[in-house]
Structure 1
Amino acid sequence: MEVVDRTGSTNADLVARCSDRDCVGAVLIAEEQVDGRGRQGRRWESVPGTHLAMSMVVDAHGAAAAGALGWIPLLTGVAVVSAITEVTGVSSRVKWPNDVLVGGLKVSGILAELAHGLQDSGVGRSVVVGVGVNTGLAADALPVPTATSLNLVTGTSVDRSRLAGAILASMARELSRWPHDLGALAEDYRAVCGTLGTRVRVDLPQSQVLVGTATDVDETGRIVVIPESGGAAIAINAGDVTHLRPLA
């Protein structure tokens, strides 16, 4: 594990590091991250001392053949939920695919990226997984109204070192069943997924929009939605989900 005072992006640093060497198991934590990235290119900025900004390298050799690469960010969400409960006692839920919410507000985001250098060289295949957790942001410093931080939820400061250790331990437990037992991973994910049973809007590629009720997450990690407009359930592997209020 390496801790640095400041960097652009812990994910970008590890992706670059993995381009010419095997760095499976490497963990990088930054006190300040000035160019962090989330899903769909969203920025993730961290104020020193108020976030956990951490990336790790996962050995994904053989996972592509099993169709299991897409499970890495999902199982990371499960690990973050478990770690938050262990360290703070707070209950959190995953919004598909991998945002972690407390009381419906986002407290953590996850980004997984393939380290292409190893893939191209034939040495193996690695995935860099980045986790950002709002741990100490004040209410007036939150980036958006739909965000929160663990200190606001708990009313006390959170030990970021302990939280990082808990996330890594939870990741190890989830990865011990991946990619060979996707059924068990799916069960774990369903148990903490707050999207299931919820009315949702899914913004799909090519500007398509689906509104319906999320009913399941299948063993490939796809969210299954029954459209309000009628018709058969649709399994979605990529999209931006918004939780909606139930119809009156």
Structure 2
Amino acid sequence: MTPSDAPHSRWSDLDRPPLNVPALRRGLLRPGGLWASLDVVETTGSTNTDLARRAAEGLAEGAVLVAEEQTAGRGRLDRTWTAPARSGLFFSVFLTPGEGVPVQRWGWLPLLAGVATATGLARAAGVDTALKWPNDLLVAVDGEERKTGGILAERAGNGVVVGIGLNVSLRADELPAPGAGSLAMAGAVSTDRETLLRGVLRSLDHWYEQWRAAGGDAAASGLQEAYAAGCATLGQTVRAQLPGERTLTGEAVAIDGDGRLVLSTDDGLQEPVSAGDIVHLRGAGGGLT
């Protein structure tokens, strides 16, 4: 099959060129740095699944796996994540915080990845990216909050696989859901995926090393403050859909030392939420998930 009649050819959409793997390796893999290896595959079901399988067999920290296309990308609560080939960044990294960071603090890793991604994109794409607790990335499109990315962290082997998915060049007619968006739609100054990937991975390296040097203490490392500063959920009235079909409504007032969202309810209580689906409520009659 020739490139001209192959709909899935790597050259079939010149607006979305393939990643330059040698250039990425030259820019990111360095002695003493966090990133130890970087592989790019044309297509796969899920980079998280693939990297977790390798981690179970024994994998060095700092492995990065990128897919030009994911056919079975996963989000929280078993939601799927799909997008046209090369229209976004779909990648996973393997981290082993080790004995210096107590396991109970590893729950900060998806929030850390959110801070790192938001700060990396601010520099590389010129787009303000807000964080919706616990792991959604939001951008403004025509004044409206839109989800442009998500993070999924899973225990694997002796560490954690952190997956990040970002809509980069998706157009309005390609969006998977009405509430979705992309960096292009948010007016990004750059949608070059290599530039964006380098920016996010360098930012992740910085925040991870800072957090690990502090023994995983989110306050001492500045992570807790940075997350709260960039969190669009704080100050909002939200509905938390909790495990066991329990629902809790209140104002999101803080992120505590364990990374939990603290809600102030109508009865004056403050309840921390460690897991659940959060809906931002706007006014009496509507909401934004």
Fold conserved between structures, TM > 0.5: yes
Moved over 6 A (4+): none
C-alpha distance in 2 between matches for 1:236 and 1:79 = 23
Instruction: Quote how far apart the aligned CAs of 1:218 are.
Output: 0.6
C-alpha distance in 2 between matches for 1:217 and 1:162 = 31
Q: Which residue of 1 aligns with 2:218?
A: 182
CA RMSD for the aligned pairs?
1.6
Q: Which stretch shows the higher mean deviation, 197-206 or 63-72?
A: 63-72
Q: Whose Rg is larger?
A: 2
> 1:148-227 counterparts in 2 under 5 A?
148-154=181-187, 158-179=191-212, 180=215, 181-183=217-219, 184-227=222-265
| AA of the residue aligned to 2:53 | A
- Residue 54 of structure 2 corresponds to residue 6 of structure 1: no
Q: Which residue of 2 aligns with 1:121?
A: none
Aligned residues: 239
Q: Which stretch shows the higher mean deviation, 146-155 or 128-137?
A: 146-155
- Residue 141 of structure 2 corresponds to residue 108 of structure 1: no
The structure whose RCO (Cα within 8 Å, separation 6+) is larger is 1
Gaps of 5+ in 2: 1-37
Q: Closer, same or farther in 2 for the Cα pair 1:129/1:209, shift >3 Å?
A: same
Q: Closer, same or farther in 2 for the Cα pair 1:155/1:188, shift >3 Å?
A: closer
Instruction: Quote how far apart the aligned CAs of 1:234 are.
Output: 0.2
Q: Which residue of 2 aligns with 1:133?
A: 166
Instruction: Quote how far apart the aligned CAs of 1:66 are.
Output: 5.0
Gaps of 5+ in 1: 119-124
1:198-236: per-residue Cα shift (whole Å, max 9, x none)? 1101000110111110000011100000113x1310011
TM-score under structure 1 length normalisation: 0.92
Q: Which stretch shows the higher mean deviation, 58-67 or 235-244?
A: 58-67
TM-score under structure 2 length normalisation: 0.79
Partner of 1:54, secondary structure, is: strand
Q: Which stretch shows the higher mean deviation, 174-183 or 99-108?
A: 174-183
